[in-house]
């Protein structure tokens, strides 16, 4: 059965076009993907991301337990800090990519992808030693407020001093009278917050943000804009750009892998070995220099031979170019390397470029 | 009758429209099609002089979300191509029956026009 977030009815009232997204009935767009994308780049947009999962570890030993499960190092963080990390398999590939929130060494909340909620929970439960994880996914709703006017909008609705909440930091407080975790994180490349609240409060928070954001030109935004925004930043999407068969090093996410952390983590040995042997392929960002739009699954060719595959691609609404990502042999991964993308039987030239595609001034 | 289905045009089940103008036929996609597609970001057009065949693919239209084939309403030779769409594919969204036209075709068998739908027959397909 298709699952619905607490905001489902609100989306329908706003005229959203709804689609099935990994078993969830979600808005893909309200007005236009490009208009929503632009609203986030220039003003502020709201996303319902309540389909994401939340798994909590609490009690003595929570920090140590989580730190053995994730690739990044929460022990180096302060309370009130969040980290982007991988849950890796024994081969160094991704079970999922997650954000872990450190409330204290005895309370950690992990936000996981909606498509992986059940899988992640079972995986964590089987491997957690000392502390048993609890699935809080149905208790939380999550609204992402993203864009240059996002901080001002949220600040008008809360007494919490958001100037003290830096990037990848969070605080707890009321937003529009709704008890929330206010996290300065996002998936768009813009400043903003991800607000976690009780599912029952989601409509109140959503409506308050929409109303208070009117002078800012706030727009509700769907999954379509979320995808084009994250692609312009070369942010990985699980199932497209990262999966269980490509390692964190191949995905260019070595920065979320702390090979030297105390206690190690699942997947570390494989990554150490791959680092020593050399990474055979890499996820690159490219622009098409010929006409067309790269899409997930299109072959990447070098001299007519298939050497890889496009993992994500779009016509970037802000960069105004056809852009994409894909895995290629390491020899082709340097900036300026050229290859072709096969689009409907046509070899369209492409060049590897520096990412993110969107250069912020 | 919806304002988005002009009475003077003919239609296909695949949501193309055809405007019969003397000896040639101008082809585009309907308001319903562009609405369903969402923001059009790329159009792959046939070459001038290309032969197209009724019911067969003659081009591709890509939106932010999807890749869709364009199907020829009639067989014939492409005598004009809307090159404006190369730089500004969103004309299909903003003016599907006007500036968003796609090709102009000289039919090889004018009787094929008789197989096209009129506005009343097309409208139920947009529900």
- Inter-chain CB pairs, A–B, below 8 Å: 38
Concatenated DSSP letters for A116-137?
A: GHHHHHHHHHHH--SS--EE-T
Buried b (16+ CB within 10 A) or exposed e, B44-70: bbbeeeeebebeeebbbbbbbbeebeb
Chain A contact set for B65 (CB, 8 A): 28, 33, 224
Give the DSSP letter of residue A351.
E
CA distance A255 to chain B (A): 31
Q: Pick from B38, B39, B60: which is nearest to A344 by CB? A: B60
Sheet holding B57-63, edge to edge: B40-44, B57-63, B67-71
Chain A CB contacts of B90 under 8 Å are 34
Q: What is the DSSP string of A39-104?
A: HHHHS-EEEE-TTSEEEEEESTTHHHHHHHHBSS-GGGSPTTEEEEEEEE-TTSBEEEEEEEEEEE
As given in the structure block, the two tokens for residue A105 are 């060494």
The percent of residues above 70 in pLDDT, for chain A, comes to 100
Q: Please give the Cα distance from A183 to A200 (Å, whole number).
A: 19
B27 vs B76: CA distance, rounded Å: 12
The pLDDT, as a whole number, for residue B1 is 41
- Express each pLDDT in A258-300 by its tens digit: 999 999 999 999 999 999 999 999 999 999 999 999 999 999 9
Within 8 A of A32 by CB-CB distance, chain B residues are: 38-39, 93
The pair of structure tokens assigned to A2 is 């298709």
**Is the bond preceding residue A356 a cis peptide, omega within 30 degrees?**
yes
Q: Please write the tens of the pLDDT for every residue from A62-101.
A: 999 999 999 999 999 999 999 999 999 999 999 999 999 9
Q: What is the pLDDT of residue A206?
A: 98
A208 touches chain B (CB under 8 A): no
A318–chain B Cβ distance below 8 A for any pair = no
Q: Alpha-carbon distance A250 to B47, whole Å? A: 41
Show the tokens assigned to A197: 């609240």
Query: Would you call B41 and A29 a contact, using CB atoms and an 8 Å cutoff?
Result: no
Q: What is the pLDDT of residues A229-259, one digit of tens each?
A: 999 999 999 999 999 999 999 999 999 999 9
**A32 with B41: Cβ contact below 8 A:** no
Residue B41 three-state SS: strand
Confidence band for A51, pLDDT divided at 50, 70 and 90: very high
What pairing do the DSSP bridges indicate for beta strands A170-175 and A140-146?
unpaired
Does the beta-carbon distance from B42 to A28 stay under 8 Å?
A: no
Mean of all residue pLDDT scores within chain A:
97
| A315 part of contact set with chain B, CB < 8 Å | yes
Q: What is the DSSP string of A137-185?
A: TTTEEEEEEESTTHHHHHHHTBSS-GGG--TTBEEEEEETTEEEEEE--
Can you tell me the distance from the alpha carbon of A282 to that of A293, in angstroms, rounded to the nearest whole number?
A: 21
pLDDT in tens, chain B (127 residues): 445 899 999 999 999 999 998 899 999 999 999 999 999 999 999 999 999 999 999 999 999 988 999 999 999 999 999 999 999 999 999 999 999 999 999 999 989 999 999 999 999 999 8
Give the pLDDT of residue B110: 86
Which percentage of chain A shows pLDDT scores above 90?
98
Alpha carbon of residue A52 to chain centroid? 10
pLDDT of residue A255: 97
* Interchain contact A28–B (C-beta under 8 A): yes
- Segment A43-57 shows an average pLDDT of 98
Angle at A52 between CA A110 and CA A49, to 5 degrees: 125
Cβ of residue A22 closer than 8 Å to a chain B Cβ:
no
Please check whether residue A13 touches B, CB under 8 A: no
Q: Are the CB atoms for B73 and B98 separated by under 8 Å?
A: no
Dihedral angle of Cα A28, A33, A38, A43, to the nearest 10 degrees? -30
Q: What is the tens place of the pLDDT at every residue in A106-131?
A: 999 999 999 999 999 999 999 998 89
**pLDDT tens column, A295-327:** 999 999 999 999 999 999 999 999 999 999 999
- Sign of the torsion formed by the C-alpha atoms of A282, A285, A290 and A291: positive
Task: Quote the pLDDT of residue A128.
Answer: 95
pLDDT confidence of A361, banded at 50, 70, 90? Answer: low
Six token digits for residue A265: 């983590």
ipTM for this prediction: 0.88
Q: Measured between beta carbons, which residues in chain B are less than 8 angstroms from residue A318?
A: none
Burial annotation A39-54 (CB, 10 A radius, 16+ → b, else e): bbbebbbbbbbbbbbb
With CA atoms as reference, report the closest residue to A321 among A350, A284, A278, A361: A350
According to DSSP, the residues that pair with A146 across neighbouring strands are A45, A192
Residues in B touching A228 (Cβ below 8 Å): 64
**pLDDT at position A193:** 98
CA distance A69 to A265: 6
Residue A108 and residue A112: Cα distance in Å, rounded? 13
């Amino acid at each position: 059965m298709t699952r619905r977030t607490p905001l489902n009815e609100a989306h329908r009232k706003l005229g959203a076009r709804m689609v099935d997204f990994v078993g969830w009935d979600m808005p893909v767009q309200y007005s236009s993907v490009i208009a929503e994308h632009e609203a986030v780049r220039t003003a502020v947009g709201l996303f319902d991301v309540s389909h994401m999962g939340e798994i909590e570890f609490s009690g003595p030993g929570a920090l140590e337990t989580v730190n053995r499960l994730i690739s990044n190092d929460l022990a180096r963080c302060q309370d009130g800090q969040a980290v982007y990390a991988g849950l890796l398999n024994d081969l160094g590939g991704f079970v999922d990519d997650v954000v872990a929130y450190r409330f204290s060494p005895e309370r950690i909340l992990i936000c996981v992808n909606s498509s992986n909620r059940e899988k992640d929970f079972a995986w964590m439960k089987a491997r957690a030693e000392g502390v048993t994880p609890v699935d809080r996914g149905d208790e939380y709703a999550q609204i992402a407020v993203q864009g240059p006017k996002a901080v001002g909008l949220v600040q008008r609705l809360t007494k919490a001093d958001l100037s003290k909440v830096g990037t990848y930091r969070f605080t707890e407080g009321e937003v529009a009278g709704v008890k929330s975790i206010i996290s300065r994180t996002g998936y768009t490349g813009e400043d903003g917050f991800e607000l976690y609240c009780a599912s029952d409060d989601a409509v109140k928070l959503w409506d308050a943000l929409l109303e208070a954001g009117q002078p800012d030109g706030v727009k509700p935004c769907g999954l379509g804009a979320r995808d084009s925004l994250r692609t312009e930043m070369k942010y990985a999407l699980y199932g497209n750009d990262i999966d269980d068969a490509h390692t964190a090093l191949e995905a260019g996410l070595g920065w979320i892998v702390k090979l030297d952390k105390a206690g190690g983590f699942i997947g570390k040995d494989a990554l150490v070995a791959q680092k020593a042997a050399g990474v055979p392929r890499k996820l690159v960002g490219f622009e098409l220099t010929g006409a067309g739009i790269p899409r997930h699954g299109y072959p990447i060719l070098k001299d007519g031979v298939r050497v890889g595959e496009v993992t994500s691609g779009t016509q970037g609404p802000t960069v105004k170019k056809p852009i994409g990502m894909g895995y290629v042999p390491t020899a082709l991964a340097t900036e300026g390397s050229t290859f072709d993308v096969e689009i409907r039987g046509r070899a369209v030239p492409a060049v590897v470029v520096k990412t993110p595609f969107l250069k912020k001034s | 009758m919806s304002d988005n289905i002009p009475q003077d045009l003919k239609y296909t089940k695949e949501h193309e429209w055809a405007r019969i103008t003397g000896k040639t036929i101008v082809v585009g996609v309907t308001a319903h099609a562009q609405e369903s597609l969402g923001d059009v970001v790329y159009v792959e057009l046939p070459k001038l002089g290309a032969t197209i065949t009724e019911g067969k693919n003659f081009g591709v239209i890509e939106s932010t979300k999807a890749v869709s084939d364009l199907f020829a309403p009639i067989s014939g030779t492409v005598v004009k191509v809307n090159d404006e769409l190369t730089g500004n594919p969103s004309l299909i969204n903003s003016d599907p029956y006007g500036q968003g036209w796609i090709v102009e075709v000289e039919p090889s068998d004018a009787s094929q026009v008789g197989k096209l739908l009129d506005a009343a027959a097309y409208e139920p397909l947009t529900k």
